[in-house]
Amino acid sequence: MFMRGKCIGCGCCTSRCNADALLYTGEEMDADKVLDEVFKDILFYRKTGGMTLSGGEPLMQYDFSLKLLKGAKEKGVHTAIETSGYYPGKLYEIAKYTDLWLYDVKIFDESEHIKYTGVSNKLIMENLKYLNATGSEIILRCPIIPGINLTDEHFEKIAELSASVSSVKKVQFMPYHPLGTEKMKSLGREQKYENCEFLSRDAILPYLEKIKDKTDKILEIM
């Protein structure tokens, strides 16, 4: 029996598995090595592309992320960070080298936010205000999950927020799909959205229709 709680992720068992039933993916790299990889495609980044730090949460590795962003900006590469916004430190330095923030907005009610994500949303909203003042562009990324935030009230609040934060250029709505459920099960993780069903783009359209005149920002369904 595999006791996941005792696994420290050392990867030793993968090298002994002749059937390749267990694979260790990913590679440990320092920032310079990552940048070498990034710069291999630099010709493609000049006009519309760039480097996006994603995760997990890139801000959890603040110094590493900062080094990558600085290095990319030195070569004129457009930079973006995909983040939950939950970062307790100062974003001043990293914001200097970030052209675009892809910023999650999940739930407005604080207790509901704690219930579903495990943390308060106060810091997330404070950081959003701070980033607005830095002048970097922001795209709000809004996962929409039936039974949790597929409500008129939630969409109204997104419209209100996007209209009030001048650096927000766009709002992207991401309808829930349960693709990650099986992976979560296989990793032995808690299933918070097990009973949620796939949400189509069409199901979101009526909500967008109701808010489209309440914000001047572009609204997209991903």
Residues 6+ apart with CB under 8 A from 131: 91, 95, 101, 103, 138, 167
Asked whether position 3 contacts ligand SF4 by CB under 6 A, the answer is no
Q: Strands, DSSP E only, in the chain?
A: 51-53, 79-83, 100-104, 137-144, 168-175, 218-221
Among 214, 220, 207, which residue's Cα sits nearest to residue 151?
Answer: 207
* Interface positions, 10-39, toward ligand SF4 (CB under 6 A): 10-13
Asked whether position 187 contacts ligand SF4 by CB under 6 A, the answer is no
- Of 4-12, 72-80, 81-89, 214-222, which part binds ligand SF4 (CB under 6 A)? 4-12
- Of 9-17, 127-135, 162-170, 179-187, which part binds ligand SF4 (CB under 6 A)? 9-17
* Interface positions, 125-144, toward ligand SF4 (CB under 6 A): none
Asked whether position 60 contacts ligand SF4 by CB under 6 A, the answer is no
Exposed, middle or buried, 26 (CB in 10 Å: 0-12/13-18/19+)? exposed
**Nearest distance in Å: CB 11, ligand SF4:** 5
Asked whether position 188 contacts ligand SF4 by CB under 6 A, the answer is no
